Amino acid sequence: MKGIILAGGRGTRLHPITRGMSKQMLPVYDKPLIYYPLSALMLAGITDIQVISTPDDLGGFRRLLGDGSDLGLRFSYVEQDKPRGLADAFLLSADHIGDSTVALVLGDNIFHGAGFSAQLRQAAADVDGCVLFGYPVRDPERYGVAEVAADGTLLSLEEKPAHPRSNLAVTGLYLYDNDVVDIARAVTPSERGELEITDVNRAYLERGKARLIPLGRGHAWLDTGTHDALTEASQYVQTLEHRQGVRIACVEEIAWRMGFIDQEACHRLGRALSASPYGQYVMEVAAAG
Protein backbone atom coordinates (compact mmCIF):
# COMPACT_ATOMS: atom_id res chain seq x y z
CA MET A 1 0.00 0.00 0.00
CA LYS A 2 1.19 3.50 -0.90
CA GLY A 3 0.61 6.53 1.29
CA ILE A 4 -0.31 10.14 0.55
CA ILE A 5 -0.19 13.07 2.97
CA LEU A 6 -2.18 16.02 1.65
CA ALA A 7 -0.53 19.06 3.20
CA GLY A 8 -1.69 21.79 0.85
CA GLY A 9 -4.11 24.64 1.28
CA ARG A 10 -3.54 28.16 2.55
CA GLY A 11 -4.51 27.68 6.20
CA THR A 12 -6.59 30.86 6.09
CA ARG A 13 -8.47 29.99 9.30
CA LEU A 14 -5.12 30.14 11.10
CA HIS A 15 -4.01 33.53 9.77
CA PRO A 16 -1.81 35.35 10.54
CA ILE A 17 0.43 32.52 11.80
CA THR A 18 0.11 30.59 8.53
CA ARG A 19 0.95 33.53 6.30
CA GLY A 20 4.63 32.69 6.63
CA MET A 21 4.59 28.91 7.00
CA SER A 22 2.53 25.84 6.21
CA LYS A 23 -0.14 24.88 8.70
CA GLN A 24 1.25 21.35 8.76
CA MET A 25 4.62 22.66 10.00
CA LEU A 26 3.11 24.32 13.06
CA PRO A 27 4.02 22.75 16.41
CA VAL A 28 1.58 20.52 18.23
CA TYR A 29 3.30 20.53 21.61
CA ASP A 30 6.71 18.96 20.90
CA LYS A 31 6.69 18.08 17.21
CA PRO A 32 5.49 19.40 13.83
CA LEU A 33 1.86 18.76 13.02
CA ILE A 34 2.73 16.62 9.98
CA TYR A 35 4.36 14.01 12.25
CA TYR A 36 0.92 12.96 13.48
CA PRO A 37 -0.64 11.95 10.13
CA LEU A 38 2.75 10.55 9.08
CA SER A 39 2.73 8.32 12.16
CA ALA A 40 -0.72 6.98 11.20
CA LEU A 41 0.62 5.83 7.82
CA MET A 42 3.69 4.31 9.44
CA LEU A 43 1.54 2.41 11.95
CA ALA A 44 -0.39 0.98 8.99
CA GLY A 45 2.91 -0.45 7.74
CA ILE A 46 3.23 2.01 4.85
CA THR A 47 6.78 2.99 3.88
CA ASP A 48 6.36 4.64 0.45
CA ILE A 49 4.76 8.05 1.03
CA GLN A 50 4.13 11.07 -1.16
CA VAL A 51 3.67 14.53 0.33
CA ILE A 52 1.46 16.97 -1.58
CA SER A 53 1.83 20.66 -0.80
CA THR A 54 2.06 24.13 -2.31
CA PRO A 55 5.09 25.27 -4.33
CA ASP A 56 6.00 27.68 -1.50
CA ASP A 57 5.83 25.04 1.24
CA LEU A 58 7.36 21.95 -0.35
CA GLY A 59 10.89 23.12 0.41
CA GLY A 60 10.16 23.14 4.12
CA PHE A 61 8.84 19.59 4.03
CA ARG A 62 11.87 18.42 2.09
CA ARG A 63 14.15 19.98 4.72
CA LEU A 64 12.19 18.41 7.57
CA LEU A 65 11.61 14.93 6.14
CA GLY A 66 14.32 14.47 3.52
CA ASP A 67 14.07 11.34 1.41
CA GLY A 68 12.86 9.28 4.37
CA SER A 69 15.79 6.87 4.36
CA ASP A 70 16.78 7.72 7.96
CA LEU A 71 13.41 6.29 9.03
CA GLY A 72 13.45 3.37 6.63
CA LEU A 73 10.89 5.17 4.49
CA ARG A 74 10.74 6.61 0.99
CA PHE A 75 9.39 10.14 0.60
CA SER A 76 8.50 11.82 -2.66
CA TYR A 77 6.95 15.22 -3.21
CA VAL A 78 4.50 16.79 -5.63
CA GLU A 79 3.18 20.33 -6.02
CA GLN A 80 -0.45 21.38 -5.84
CA ASP A 81 -0.41 24.91 -7.21
CA LYS A 82 -3.89 25.74 -5.89
CA PRO A 83 -6.56 23.95 -3.83
CA ARG A 84 -8.74 21.78 -6.08
CA GLY A 85 -10.35 19.55 -3.47
CA LEU A 86 -9.19 16.48 -1.60
CA ALA A 87 -9.86 14.12 -4.51
CA ASP A 88 -7.29 16.01 -6.58
CA ALA A 89 -4.67 14.17 -4.53
CA PHE A 90 -5.34 10.97 -6.49
CA LEU A 91 -4.81 12.72 -9.81
CA LEU A 92 -1.59 14.35 -8.65
CA SER A 93 -0.31 11.07 -7.18
CA ALA A 94 -1.49 8.70 -9.92
CA ASP A 95 2.07 7.70 -10.87
CA HIS A 96 2.97 7.24 -7.21
CA ILE A 97 -0.05 4.98 -6.64
CA GLY A 98 0.66 2.88 -9.72
CA ASP A 99 -1.13 -0.45 -9.37
CA SER A 100 -1.20 -0.39 -5.55
CA THR A 101 -3.83 0.25 -2.93
CA VAL A 102 -3.49 3.65 -1.24
CA ALA A 103 -4.06 5.45 2.03
CA LEU A 104 -4.75 9.18 2.03
CA VAL A 105 -4.41 11.17 5.24
CA LEU A 106 -4.95 14.89 5.68
CA GLY A 107 -1.90 16.69 7.01
CA ASP A 108 -3.78 18.42 9.83
CA ASN A 109 -5.48 15.36 11.35
CA ILE A 110 -4.39 13.65 14.57
CA PHE A 111 -5.47 10.13 15.51
CA HIS A 112 -4.83 8.44 18.84
CA GLY A 113 -6.35 5.64 20.82
CA ALA A 114 -5.94 2.21 22.35
CA GLY A 115 -5.79 -0.44 19.65
CA PHE A 116 -5.89 2.09 16.82
CA SER A 117 -2.66 0.92 15.18
CA ALA A 118 -3.76 -2.74 15.14
CA GLN A 119 -7.16 -1.73 13.78
CA LEU A 120 -5.51 0.33 11.08
CA ARG A 121 -3.07 -2.41 10.03
CA GLN A 122 -5.89 -4.92 9.79
CA ALA A 123 -7.96 -2.59 7.61
CA ALA A 124 -5.00 -1.74 5.37
CA ALA A 125 -4.10 -5.38 4.83
CA ASP A 126 -7.30 -6.16 2.92
CA VAL A 127 -8.87 -3.22 1.09
CA ASP A 128 -11.66 -4.08 -1.34
CA GLY A 129 -13.24 -0.78 -2.25
CA CYS A 130 -12.84 1.99 0.30
CA VAL A 131 -12.51 2.04 4.06
CA LEU A 132 -13.53 5.15 5.98
CA PHE A 133 -13.21 6.01 9.67
CA GLY A 134 -16.04 7.72 11.50
CA TYR A 135 -15.99 9.76 14.68
CA PRO A 136 -18.94 11.28 16.63
CA VAL A 137 -18.90 15.09 16.75
CA ARG A 138 -21.09 17.84 18.14
CA ASP A 139 -21.14 19.86 14.89
CA PRO A 140 -21.50 17.36 12.04
CA GLU A 141 -22.63 20.06 9.61
CA ARG A 142 -18.93 21.07 9.31
CA TYR A 143 -17.88 17.66 7.97
CA GLY A 144 -18.66 14.87 5.60
CA VAL A 145 -21.32 12.88 7.45
CA ALA A 146 -21.96 9.13 7.39
CA GLU A 147 -25.30 7.48 8.05
CA VAL A 148 -24.91 3.93 9.36
CA ALA A 149 -27.50 1.22 9.96
CA ALA A 150 -27.83 -0.61 13.25
CA ASP A 151 -25.77 -3.52 11.87
CA GLY A 152 -22.95 -1.15 10.85
CA THR A 153 -23.80 -1.00 7.15
CA LEU A 154 -22.93 2.34 5.58
CA LEU A 155 -26.14 3.83 4.18
CA SER A 156 -25.30 7.35 2.97
CA LEU A 157 -22.63 10.03 2.79
CA GLU A 158 -23.24 13.78 2.69
CA GLU A 159 -20.80 16.67 2.46
CA LYS A 160 -21.43 19.36 5.09
CA PRO A 161 -25.21 18.85 5.17
CA ALA A 162 -27.49 21.55 6.57
CA HIS A 163 -29.52 18.83 8.30
CA PRO A 164 -27.15 15.94 9.13
CA ARG A 165 -28.64 12.44 9.32
CA SER A 166 -26.19 11.51 12.08
CA ASN A 167 -23.41 12.97 14.21
CA LEU A 168 -20.81 10.65 12.65
CA ALA A 169 -18.14 12.65 10.86
CA VAL A 170 -15.91 11.03 8.24
CA THR A 171 -12.36 11.64 9.40
CA GLY A 172 -9.39 12.64 7.26
CA LEU A 173 -8.02 9.11 6.85
CA TYR A 174 -9.12 7.03 3.85
CA LEU A 175 -8.08 3.65 2.43
CA TYR A 176 -8.78 2.74 -1.20
CA ASP A 177 -8.26 0.01 -3.74
CA ASN A 178 -6.62 0.82 -7.07
CA ASP A 179 -9.87 1.95 -8.71
CA VAL A 180 -9.67 5.26 -6.85
CA VAL A 181 -7.64 7.03 -9.55
CA ASP A 182 -10.19 6.26 -12.28
CA ILE A 183 -13.05 7.17 -9.97
CA ALA A 184 -11.41 10.50 -9.11
CA ARG A 185 -10.91 11.26 -12.79
CA ALA A 186 -14.65 10.88 -13.34
CA VAL A 187 -15.61 13.26 -10.52
CA THR A 188 -16.89 16.67 -11.62
CA PRO A 189 -16.15 19.80 -9.57
CA SER A 190 -18.70 20.79 -6.96
CA GLU A 191 -20.40 24.17 -6.71
CA ARG A 192 -17.31 25.50 -4.93
CA GLY A 193 -15.15 24.32 -7.81
CA GLU A 194 -13.46 21.43 -6.00
CA LEU A 195 -13.18 17.69 -6.50
CA GLU A 196 -14.92 16.44 -3.37
CA ILE A 197 -13.68 13.33 -1.58
CA THR A 198 -17.29 12.60 -0.63
CA ASP A 199 -18.13 12.11 -4.31
CA VAL A 200 -15.35 9.54 -4.58
CA ASN A 201 -16.65 7.78 -1.48
CA ARG A 202 -20.21 7.85 -2.80
CA ALA A 203 -19.06 6.14 -6.00
CA TYR A 204 -17.72 3.30 -3.89
CA LEU A 205 -20.92 3.27 -1.84
CA GLU A 206 -23.00 2.92 -5.01
CA ARG A 207 -20.87 -0.10 -5.95
CA GLY A 208 -21.49 -1.63 -2.54
CA LYS A 209 -17.80 -1.36 -1.75
CA ALA A 210 -17.63 1.26 0.98
CA ARG A 211 -17.44 0.50 4.67
CA LEU A 212 -16.94 2.62 7.74
CA ILE A 213 -15.01 1.78 10.90
CA PRO A 214 -16.33 3.76 13.89
CA LEU A 215 -13.78 5.29 16.24
CA GLY A 216 -15.65 5.59 19.49
CA ARG A 217 -14.72 5.60 23.17
CA GLY A 218 -11.03 5.37 23.84
CA HIS A 219 -10.11 7.13 20.60
CA ALA A 220 -9.38 10.75 19.80
CA TRP A 221 -9.61 12.44 16.42
CA LEU A 222 -8.40 16.02 16.39
CA ASP A 223 -8.86 18.36 13.43
CA THR A 224 -6.45 21.26 13.98
CA GLY A 225 -7.96 23.76 11.55
CA THR A 226 -8.58 26.59 14.03
CA HIS A 227 -6.53 28.40 16.67
CA ASP A 228 -8.56 26.85 19.48
CA ALA A 229 -8.34 23.36 17.98
CA LEU A 230 -4.57 23.69 17.54
CA THR A 231 -4.15 24.77 21.16
CA GLU A 232 -6.42 22.00 22.42
CA ALA A 233 -4.45 19.43 20.43
CA SER A 234 -1.20 20.63 22.00
CA GLN A 235 -2.72 20.44 25.46
CA TYR A 236 -4.06 16.94 24.77
CA VAL A 237 -0.64 15.69 23.63
CA GLN A 238 1.17 17.40 26.51
CA THR A 239 -1.17 15.92 29.11
CA LEU A 240 -0.93 12.37 27.77
CA GLU A 241 2.82 12.47 27.32
CA HIS A 242 3.42 13.80 30.82
CA ARG A 243 1.07 11.30 32.45
CA GLN A 244 2.09 8.23 30.49
CA GLY A 245 5.78 8.92 29.92
CA VAL A 246 5.54 8.06 26.22
CA ARG A 247 5.50 10.36 23.22
CA ILE A 248 2.65 10.33 20.74
CA ALA A 249 3.66 10.25 17.05
CA CYS A 250 7.37 9.88 17.75
CA VAL A 251 8.29 8.83 14.22
CA GLU A 252 11.77 7.59 15.17
CA GLU A 253 10.38 5.24 17.81
CA ILE A 254 7.62 4.05 15.49
CA ALA A 255 10.15 3.37 12.72
CA TRP A 256 12.16 1.21 15.10
CA ARG A 257 9.22 -0.64 16.65
CA MET A 258 7.75 -1.30 13.18
CA GLY A 259 11.06 -2.77 12.04
CA PHE A 260 11.81 -0.08 9.46
CA ILE A 261 15.14 0.72 11.18
CA ASP A 262 17.22 -1.04 13.82
CA GLN A 263 17.87 -0.03 17.43
CA GLU A 264 21.23 1.55 16.64
CA ALA A 265 19.74 3.73 13.91
CA CYS A 266 16.96 4.86 16.29
CA HIS A 267 19.52 5.84 18.92
CA ARG A 268 21.54 7.71 16.33
CA LEU A 269 18.48 9.71 15.26
CA GLY A 270 17.82 10.62 18.88
CA ARG A 271 21.43 11.67 19.40
CA ALA A 272 21.10 14.13 16.51
CA LEU A 273 18.26 15.79 18.47
CA SER A 274 19.80 15.34 21.93
CA ALA A 275 19.62 19.03 22.87
CA SER A 276 15.82 18.64 23.13
CA PRO A 277 13.72 16.49 25.49
CA TYR A 278 12.29 14.85 22.37
CA GLY A 279 15.72 13.68 21.24
CA GLN A 280 16.60 12.52 24.74
CA TYR A 281 13.41 10.44 24.79
CA VAL A 282 14.31 8.77 21.47
CA MET A 283 17.74 7.84 22.84
CA GLU A 284 16.20 6.52 26.05
CA VAL A 285 13.67 4.25 24.35
CA ALA A 286 16.32 2.95 21.98
CA ALA A 287 18.75 2.26 24.81
CA ALA A 288 16.05 0.51 26.84
CA GLY A 289 15.50 -1.95 23.99
Q: Please state, in angstroms and rounded to a whole number, the distance separating the CA atoms of residues 190 and 186.
A: 12
**Per-residue pLDDT at 258:** 97
The pLDDT value given to residue 13:
83
pLDDT at position 192, please?
A: 86
**What is the rounded distance in angstroms from the CA atom of residue 269 to the CA atom of residue 242?**
22
If phi > 0 it is left, if psi is from -120 to 50 it is alpha, else beta; for residue 89 that is: alpha
Q: Which of 58, 175, 49, 179 is nearest to 122 (CA)?
A: 175
Sites in the chain below the pLDDT cut of 50: none
- Residue 5 amino acid letter: I
The pLDDT of residue 59: 95
- Smallest CA-to-CA distance from 153 within 205, 113, 229, 84 is with 205
pTM of the model: 0.96
Q: What is the mean pLDDT of the chain?
A: 95
Q: Per-residue pLDDT tens for 106-151?
A: 999 999 998 899 999 999 998 999 999 999 999 999 999 999 999 9
Whole-angstrom distance, CA of residue 210 vs CA of residue 129: 6
Q: What is the pLDDT of residue 21?
A: 85
Which 3-state string (H, E, C) describes 266-278? HHHHHHHCCCCHH
Give pLDDT, residue 287: 95
Q: 245, 164 in Cβ contact below 8 A?
A: no
